[in-house]
């Protein structure tokens, strides 16, 4: 597994990061021995970045990840998140400190390598979450700086979901180490310009703006929550239903649109739709790591093999761009 720099942090992260969320689900719904096996194999294969959040399994993902990494004595980088509730904006610093302390306890670690704001910016998140403005983000950043001074966290970032304009303001304001951004075969707008009538949210090349400021880019939704694997069937460990982020109205619509890229396998460029999706994300030099949600060992092995085949060739990327442009015309 190749490693890339994580922005200006001085850390290097594996090209494939391990998503410990609900969608793949192994760290939330798996049996402990299965989790241990998958995480152990991930470390053996060179994965050194694990992404969790208090939201995932209501803290269970952090508990499980911490336990497995301790048992394995693995030298891994751990990222987690925090979210602010609707009533928390009057006491941002206290809420950030409480949340980080709780995550440290659940993870059983002395520090968090990367803490990220989970709330989207400019739009409400899940029920009960605070709608965050750029000003609120500044208060969160001040709290992060103070926690860094105490050695509880090393670096911080945001989830780049919400209103595109506010996301660009947040990146332009500086003071962030990372962003988690949607970039995949269905919606490449965070990486390059798309036609004005492109049917999905236009992130207006947010990755390039981040890279200009040496902000590390962590890609999410590499497989569109699983839709880019090309089937509506869900793994028993995976989230039973997935709401699209930055792509179609429904998961089934994303699965149907994913067939657009069958030419990559038919033409022998890739061996599977999953490989196409992972190599597409890794074809951007701005990307530090591409997170993939993992349900079992087989998915992990396949994802790693795919990443190790490297970026897609230029002619395949050009054909993909043509196919994506046709989305705009319906
Ligand atoms: N900050 C945020 O708000 C945010 C939002 C989303 C994600 N994330 C992060 O990103 C991680 C990934 O989640 P995601 O939502 O972006 O999902 P994703 O990685 O786009 O999709 C994961 C799904 O893809 C399928 N899959 C994975 N490997 C496969 C393989 N080798 N073969 C076939 N299918 C495969 C699985 O579906 P089945 O299991 O059904 O087969 C899995 O559940 C999360 O764990 C989290 O760490 C963060």
User: Tens digits of per-residue pLDDT, 20-29?
Assistant: 998 988 999 9
The predicted model scores a pTM of 0.97
Torsion angle, alpha carbons of 222, 126, 76, 73, to 10 = -130
Over residues 183-211, mean pLDDT: 97
- The rounded Å distance from CA 90 to ligand 1 centre is 34
CA dihedral (197, 203, 208, 209) positive or negative: positive
Place 115 in a pLDDT band, splitting at 50, 70 and 90: very high
Average pLDDT value for the chain: 96
- What is the pLDDT at residue 215? 98
* Three-state SS at 97: helix
Instruction: Please choose from 15, 20, 24 the residue to mutate so as to test ligand 1's pocket, defined by most ligand atoms within 8 A of CB.
Output: 24
Please name the residue whose Cα sits nearest to atom 12 of ligand 1.
293
Cβ atoms 114, 289 nearer than 8 A: no
- Determine the pLDDT at residue 238: 76
What is the maximum alpha-carbon separation in the chain? 56
Distance CA 113, CA 279 (A): 26
Segments of 15-70 assigned E as strands:
16-19, 49-51
CA of 150 to the centre of ligand 1 (A): 33
275-286 in b/e form (b: 16+ CB < 10 A) is bbbbbbbbbbeb
Q: Is the pLDDT of residue 124 over 90?
A: no
Q: Which phi and psi (to 5°) does residue 17 adopt?
A: -105, 155
pLDDT of residue 76: 98
- The b/e string for 293-302 (b: 16+ C-beta within 10 A; e otherwise) is bbbbeebbeb
**Residues in contact with 291: Cβ distance below 8 Å, sequence separation at least 6, in sequence order:** 16, 17, 18, 19, 51, 180, 218, 219, 220, 222
Strand extents, DSSP E, 83-131:
112-117
pLDDT given at position 202: 98
127 Cα to the center of ligand 1, angstroms: 22
* pLDDT higher than threshold 80 for residue 329: no
């Amino acid at each position: 597994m190749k490693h890339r720099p994580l922005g200006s942090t001085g850390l290097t992260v594996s090209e494939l990061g391990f998503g410990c969320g609900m969608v793949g689900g192994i760290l939330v719904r798996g049996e402990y021995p299965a989790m241990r096996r998958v995480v152990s194999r991930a470390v053996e294969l060179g994965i050194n970045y694990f992404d969790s959040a208090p939201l995932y399994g209501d803290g269970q993902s952090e508990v499980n990840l911490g336990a497995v990494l301790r048992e394995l004595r693995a030298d891994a980088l751990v990222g987690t998140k925090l979210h602010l509730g609707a009533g928390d904006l009057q006491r941002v610093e206290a809420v950030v400190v409480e949340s980080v302390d709780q995550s440290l306890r659940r993870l059983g670690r002395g520090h968090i390598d990367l803490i990220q704001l989970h709330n989207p910016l400019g739009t409400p998140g899940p029920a009960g979450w605070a709608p965050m403005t750029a000003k609120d983000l500044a208060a969160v950043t001040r709290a992060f700086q103070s926690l860094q001074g105490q050695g509880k966290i090393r670096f911080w970032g945001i989830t780049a979901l919400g209103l595109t304009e506010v996301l660009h303001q947040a990146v332009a304001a500086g003071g962030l180490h990372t962003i988690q951004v949607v970039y995949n075969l269905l919606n490449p707008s965070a990486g390059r310009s798309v036609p004005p009538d492109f049917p999905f949210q236009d992130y207006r090349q947010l990755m390039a703006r981040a890279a200009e400021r040496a902000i590390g880019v962590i890609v999410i939704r590499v497989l569109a929550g699983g839709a880019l694997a090309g089937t509506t069937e869900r793994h028993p460990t995976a989230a039973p239903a997935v709401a699209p982020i930055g792509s179609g109205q429904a998961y089934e619509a994303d699965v149907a649109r994913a067939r657009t890229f069958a030419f990559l396998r038919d033409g022998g460029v890739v061996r599977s739709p999953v490989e196409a999706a992972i190599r597409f994300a890794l074809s951007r030099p701005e990307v530090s790591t591409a997170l993939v949600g993992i349900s079992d060992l087989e998915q992990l092995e396949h994802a790693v093999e795919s990443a190790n085949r490297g970026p897609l060739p230029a002619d395949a990327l050009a054909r993909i761009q043509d196919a994506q442009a046709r989305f705009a015309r319906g």
